[in-house]
Amino acid sequence: MGFLTTITIRNDSWHQIDNNKEKLWDTIKNANQKAHRNNMASIGSDIIVQPSYHADDHQLFVHFGNLVQNINPWTLEFDNLLQNNPNFLKDAVSIAEEMVKEAKRRIKEHEKQ
């Protein structure tokens, strides 16, 4: 098993990406290397590259607002949010909890059928 990298592209920016296709891959690759050093990297406000994680190192990303947030409690990113923006982190975790709760409910409903 290898490593996985989560990349978020803001769809409003496709026109800018289309105009720079040649640079796109190199830019993502460079941002990926930077993400390992800084915990996350962005290409302007259009593309956000998360650090790569080994396939066996489970992560939980919450897509909300205009971003994707990793809420794995054993990451540096989590620790930074806990110290610097705990209310934002609470919101992300609450959204994840509600989604898991509903997913479990739907699985149980399906199993009854």
Same domain, 75 and 37: no
| Intra-chain end-to-end CA distance of the chain, in Å | 36
pLDDT along the chain (113 residues), means of 10: 83 77 74 66 71 89 90 92 96 98 98 95
- The pLDDT of residue 41 is 59
- The number of distinct structural domains making up the chain is 2
Give pLDDT, residue 79. Answer: 94
Do residues 49 and 88 share a domain? Answer: no
Indicate if 39 and 71 belong to the same structural domain: no
Same domain, 64 and 110: yes
Which of 3, 2, 1 has the alpha carbon at shortest distance from 51?
A: 3
The partner residues of 70 in beta bridges, in order of sequence, read: 61
The per-residue pLDDT for 107 is 98
Tokens representing residue 34 in the block: 């930077």
In which domain, by residue range, is 95 found?
A: 58-113
* Residues 53, 63 within the same domain: no
